[in-house]
Amino acid sequence: MPRIKPWLTFTEWGQKYGDIAHIEVLGRHIIVLNSAKAAMEMLDSKSILYSGRPVLPMAGELVGWKDSLPFLPYGDLFRQHRRNFHRVIGSRAGMDVYNVVEEVETHRFLKRVLAKPDQLQEYIRHTAGAVILRISHGYEVKENNDPFIDLADRVVANASQATAPGAFMVDILPFLANVPTWFPGAGFKCLAHEWHEALEEMVSAPHKFVKDQMADGTAPMSFTSNLLEGCDMSAEEDHAVKWSAISMYGGGSDTTVSAIYSFFLAMTLFPDVQRKAQAEIDAAVGPDRLPTFADRDSLPYIAALVKEVHRWNIVIPTGFPHCVTEDDIHDGYYIPKGSLVIPNVWFMLNDPRTYVDPSQFNPERFLAKDGKEPETDPRTACFGFGRRICPGLHLADASIWISIVMSLAVFDISKVVENGVEITPEVEPLPLGTISHPKPFKCSITPRSATALGLIEQDADY
């Protein structure tokens, strides 16, 4: 199993062996899907068979993520978690009640970037965490060194490392979970213990914060308070609410950071796209106010730009593995029960058979033009498949949209010039982890005008 950028090796296998490739690692069957068609035929159309999750000894058992939604086996508890999500943020209309949260926190992001544009990635991470913690637990983060943000960022980064394909031998040889910590090569157990302690604190502390506020009658509306309100919950139901909320943070924070950071990279490299997007905002919104969600339907180019962000930088290039719950025969192939199925989402969204010139950042591929149909919406693949599709996709899409439209309304993003030389950023993902982040890069971020500067400096409060 490749450890470094496995999606590129998977792509080579697809080109050599076809859309469905099989490898066997120490008795474990692994199926790699290299086309959206194969993924939809198996993971969508046969979701009753392909909605299981493999037991991941490192991340699930040793670190402790087994109770979170992405790791739950398909069954009653999984469906309960999904119902929790659907009840609160399961639709675009359901997300509308949190529009003010998104708009205020993004406005605060603009202020931070204006003050210190060289700390762009840090501020994207802070804002993504602030939005999700406000929605999940009604918690308003501190401007600097917030304890929940710092802890949560650490926990999510640990999870990305723990779930990377082939990163830990214990995922291939589960019996290694039982070896003592002094055993040669068992350093992963010390790491897992450290990560487990941080995860337990992150799960329990915000939940207790909400329950204490509800007892005092001061709890703002949030995902957690909504689910707890007016219910005499059993310990099991309370546990499900607690882990549903942390699943929201774990699934939405780091992924959103990657997407928004890649947007700034794309604007640095493709100035023509930036100018077209800004022209649409200027025409539809005008220069005298910041865009809001009320403008969403009048900005089709921005909608296409958001789709291209999803396609151009694939946040989870190899998806999250499914597990086959019963033997299956698919397209003449025997798929044994217990097989891991890995969708190579990176290639699906970079397949030249589906996307013209896929390395180019071109939002217009998603607009009907000159009688041509738009290219395939990347959200059919990037948010997962079947019954395992991301339940927070409306939250993710809203967060990315408002960050993009507000940033373009007031900022010009361009290449940095150092000693008279223009620096062109490299399009290169960091090599490790389930969640792919662009390699850090430099860019220039400046207000578009004095009017834009005034809009940024306005108060941003609830």
Q: What angle (nearest 5°) sits at the alpha carbon of residue 40, between those of residues 364 and 376?
A: 10
Give the range of the structural domain holding residue 133, as residue numbers without chain letter.
Answer: 6-457
Look at residue 157 in the predicted model and tell me its pLDDT. Answer: 86
Contact between 135 and 89 under an 8 Å Cβ cutoff? The reply is yes
Contact between 127 and 106 under an 8 Å Cβ cutoff? The reply is yes
3-state secondary structure of 52: strand
**Signed CA dihedral, 13, 18, 19, 22: sign only:** negative
| Residue 18: closest CA among 2, 31, 4 | 31
Is residue 365 one of the residues assigned to a domain? yes
Is residue 329 one of the residues assigned to a domain? yes
* Alpha helices per DSSP H over 116-146: 120-137
CATH number of the domain within which 68 lies: 1.10.630.10
Is residue 324 one of the residues assigned to a domain? yes
Question: Is residue 27 exposed (0-12), middle (13-18) or buried (19+ Cβ within 10 Å)?
Answer: exposed
Q: Would you state the structure tokens that stand for residue 246, as one six-digit string?
A: 């942390």
| Residue 266: closest CA among 310, 303, 298, 300 | 310
Look at residue 40 in the predicted model and tell me its pLDDT. Answer: 95
Residue 56 Cα distances to 24, 93, 175, 259, angstroms: 17, 35, 12, 26
Residue 377 Cα distances to 32, 156, 257, angstroms: 22, 28, 21
Is residue 462 one of the residues assigned to a domain? no
Low-confidence ranges of the chain (pLDDT < 50): none
Look at residue 85 in the predicted model and tell me its pLDDT. Answer: 87
Q: Which residues contribute to the annotated binding site?
A: 390
Look at residue 208 in the predicted model and tell me its pLDDT. Answer: 93
Look at residue 233 in the predicted model and tell me its pLDDT. Answer: 81
Is residue 139 one of the residues assigned to a domain? yes
Is residue 110 one of the residues assigned to a domain? yes
| Residue 116: closest CA among 438, 415, 445 | 445
Q: Would you state the structure tokens that stand for residue 269, as one six-digit string?
A: 């490299």
Kindly report the pTM of this predicted structure.
Answer: 0.91
The predicted-structure confidence for 335-389, as pLDDT tens digits, reads as follows 999 999 999 999 999 999 999 999 999 999 999 888 889 999 999 999 999 999 9
Is residue 1 one of the residues assigned to a domain? no
Q: What's the domain count of the chain? A: 1
3-state secondary structure of 23: strand
Look at residue 414 in the predicted model and tell me its pLDDT. Answer: 97
Is residue 67 one of the residues assigned to a domain? yes
Residue 404 Cα distances to 256, 267, 310, 380, angstroms: 12, 10, 12, 21
Look at residue 462 in the predicted model and tell me its pLDDT. Answer: 65
| Residue 434: closest CA among 64, 187, 193, 168 | 168
Q: Which residues contribute to the annotated binding site for heme?
A: 390
